[in-house]
Structure 1
Amino acid sequence: MTDYPEKISDDKQLEELLSKPTAETIEMFKRLDGDIIFLGIAGKIGPSLANMAKRACDEAGVKKRIIGVSRFRSPEEKKHIEEMGIETLQGDLLDRNFLESLPRVKNVFFLAGMKFGSEDNLSLTWAMNSYLPALIGEHFKESRIVAYSTGCVYPLVSVESGGSKETDMPVPVGEYAQSCLGRERMFEYGSKKNNTPVALIRLNYAVEPRYGVLVDIATKVKNNEPVDLAMGYFNVIWQGDANDVVLRSLDHTKSPARVINLSGQEILSVQNVVQDFGILFGVKPKMVGEEANTALLSNSNQAYELFGKPQLPIDKLIKWVAYWLEEDRKTLGKPTHFEVRDGKY
């Protein structure tokens, strides 16, 4: 078991923890052939994921070209990626000329997508989440592709079910979730047509002290705002553990595409987590509404069989989030909308 600190003191320590490769990841990079490209690197997950790959290569003693592609919202964002030792290419992936200029490297991670505000621009949501994957699948047909998807393609299920499995039929609610299933179908189509090895990662939810379901709940408790209990249960996984699994998924790409659920072992109760944060903040939390008998839950047993169970305990993660917010450190300001039950994000 990794020796984790009691609290995370600053962004530097957080990035160190998020991007620390496991021995298994380092071993994989020792034998991995080809260079690596991260498409949509500048989001919430991309920087630490790519940094973990770079650190794993360094510790494995191998040299690879590692490329990060994004529109980059600011020069600082681009500089931050480059300071990790990652080459950057700036452009819009929906621009066919730019896309076709990208080097056809062997290992591709697809992180681009649209979620926040998706209801306000549905045509762009479908373009990013369904049309673009078809283009990517064709351009990188000779590569291995690991693509992020979401557990939102599943229906709400009972807590007693233990969560949706990869063999369950997707029933996406709302256009965001439908477009995400479209993403999967386009990668599946390319995988079958071109015999491209693909892994589709149905993630929900990755968490760290600046972002995620735990931050959403903790912020409301700290600010003495009521927490709605309607979506009464959820899964989360430490983003460092998720990064490890995503990188190692290169070893498990297949044609036809393979689906991998990725989340934490425990089904967490919103009410219990609210009470935990109340104790940590020394306040009496406010809760409204009643727990529904269904929630968006994933069963990730297949991932545990392939990669082992997540290393970071949930109680440690809850304490990290509380310490971070108690010290008024920076968050990303992007709510997950995990409580949404009608698919309108």
Structure 2
Amino acid sequence: MDVIQQIEDDLTTPTEALVDDLRTIEGDIVVLGVGGKVGPSVAIQAKRAVDAAGLDKKVIGVARFSDPAARASLERYGVETVAADLTDDLELAALPDAANVIYMAGHKFGTTGNEPFTWMMNAYLPGRVAQRYRDSRIVAFSTLVTYPLADASRGGSRESDPSGPIGEYGQSCLGRERVFEHFSKVNGTPVLLFRLAYSIETRYGVLQEIAQAVMDGTPIPLAMGHTSVIWQRDVAEYAIRSLRLAESPARKLNITGPEIASVRRLAERFGEVLGRDPVFEGEESGTAYVLDGGELQREFGFPTTTLEEMIERVAGWVAASGPTIGKPTKFQQRDGAF
């Protein structure tokens, strides 16, 4: 097994808790927008858990599939694939029925200057999907930027906190949530709003960006002085298990690790592992985009991958000059411009 496939295999290994939960969730699972960074981990892990449980349940991944290799990877694990443009009403209507929907479609990078498309993808399309799958359970991926910047010393934003997105991307993401909330209420559709921050693996994410900056001697901005992170394998597991938490009216759930991490301390730790002295610029402010994951932990316990394990894996990959996905998170942005 080559190193990339080993990474992907590790990111999709199901836990016994997931296998047990799938035995209680009836019906097939469709993952809409499966072609993104996290989508393959969700679909493949779901299929592996279905197989481990010995269930007669389909896992279907839907995307445009502009990259044939991505489609082949899903099918290699037994995920059924459907090539479709979700924004085309006829193609959306023709999708397979499924009792369970994990909705991952959206638009972030390139929002600035392309605001109309962003709103269409993030706020209009969810309404079309909510109507198409009105009789299903829906876990809808969302983001921490539906909240305002939070006081990092007080533990991060909680599900009960008021929304307050900064910039059009965050506003459009709140629009996605509000549309799903509306159709959950009027149609009785069980919905879980999956507020994620930030998914991490060796080739992508906040930790990879900080580690690479330390390795290269690039100055690390400190204005966004804290961050919330969680390993992608755990993200995928929680997305699938959250199907049983979907309810009407829609429920919100923060998806993140148990600690709020200092960017300065992360860089210093990477410096220790990589044998480099990190370079900083600016000073920490008291606020940041950070989440309180207490409710998640009460539902599912702590993630299986600790922050220190994440640091060690990412540092090893950066030290070995491993390839990256090449899409920066822009987690440092405080003005909402993505």
Is structure 2 residue 248 aligned with structure 1 residue 275?
no
- The question of whether the paired residues in 2 share the 8 Å contact of 1:208 and 1:321 is answered with yes
For residues 79 and 184 of structure 2, the distance between their equivalents in structure 1, rounded to whole angstroms, comes to 28
Mapped pair 1:176 → 2:176: no
| Deviation, structure 1 residue 24 | 1.2
Matches within 5 A, 1:128-167: 128-167=121-160
Matches within 5 A, 1:206-221: 206-221=199-214
2:296 to 294, 303, 313: 303
Instruction: Decide whether the 8 Å contact of 1:40 with 1:110 is kept in 2.
Output: yes
SS in 1 for 2:107: coil
User: Could you tell me whether the CA contact under 8 Å between 2:138 and 2:191 is conserved in 1?
Assistant: yes
Distance of 2:26 and 2:49 partners within structure 1: 14
Query: Which ranges in structure 2 are unaligned for 5 or more consecutive residues?
Result: none
User: Residues 1-345 of structure 1: matches in 2 within 5 Å?
Assistant: 10-345=3-338
Q: Secondary structure at the match of 2:31?
A: strand
Give the TM-score taking structure 1 as reference length: 0.96
Structure 1: which 5+ residue stretches go unaligned? 1-7
Give deviations 1:192-216, integer Å, cap 9, x for gaps.
0100000000000110101110011
**Does the aligned pair in 2 maintain the 1:68–1:86 contact within 8 Å?**
yes
| C-alpha contact 1:30 1:61 (8 A) present in aligned 2 | no
- The 4+ residue runs of structure 1 with deviation greater than 3 A are none
Structure 2: distance between partners of 1:93 and 1:168: 32
Q: Percent identity?
A: 45
Give me the whole-angstrom Cα distance separating, in 2, the residues matched to 1:76 and 1:207. Answer: 22
SS of 1:145's partner is: strand
Give CA deviations for 1:137-192 in whole Å, capped at 9, x if unaligned.
00000000001000111111112221111000000000000000000001001100
Q: Which amino acid aligns with 1:206?
A: S
Contact 1:71/1:90 (8 A) holds in 2: yes
> In 1, are the aligned partners of 2:169 and 2:337 still within 8 Å (CA)?
yes
Aligned residues: 338
Q: Distance in 1 between matches of 2:58 and 2:34?
A: 15
| CA gap 1:326/1:289 in 2 versus in 1, 3 angstroms | same
Q: CA RMSD in A?
A: 1.2
Letter of the structure 2 residue corresponding to residue 142 of structure 1: D
- Secondary structure at 2:77 match in 1: coil
Q: How far apart, CA to CA, are the structure 1 residues paired with 2:170 and 2:72?
A: 33
Query: Is the CA contact 2:153–2:286 (under 8 Å) kept in the aligned structure 1?
Result: no
Deviation at 1:9, TM superposition (A): 8.0
1:264-318 Cα distance to aligned partner (Å, 9 max, x none): 1111111111111111111111111000111111111111111111121101100
Secondary structure of 1:299's counterpart equals coil
Q: Which residue of 2 aligns with 1:3?
A: none
Q: 1:220-263 CA deviation, whole Å, 9 max, x = no partner?
A: 11111110011000110111111111111011000000000011
Q: Shift in Å at residue 32 of structure 1?
A: 2.0
The 2-side partners of 1:74 and 1:270 are apart by 34
CA offsets per residue over residues 103-147 of structure 1, 9 Å max, x none?
221000000000111113111110110000000000000000001
Residue aligned with 2:164, SS: coil
SS of equivalent residue, structure 2 residue 112: helix
Mark the CA change 1:272 to 1:309 in structure 2 (over 3 Å): closer, same or farther. Answer: same
TM-score by structure 2 length? 0.98
Q: 1:60-102: CA deviations, max 9, x gaps?
A: 0012121110011221121111111111111210011100111
Secondary structure, aligned partner of 2:101: strand
Partner Cα separation in structure 1 for residue 195 and residue 139 of structure 2 = 11
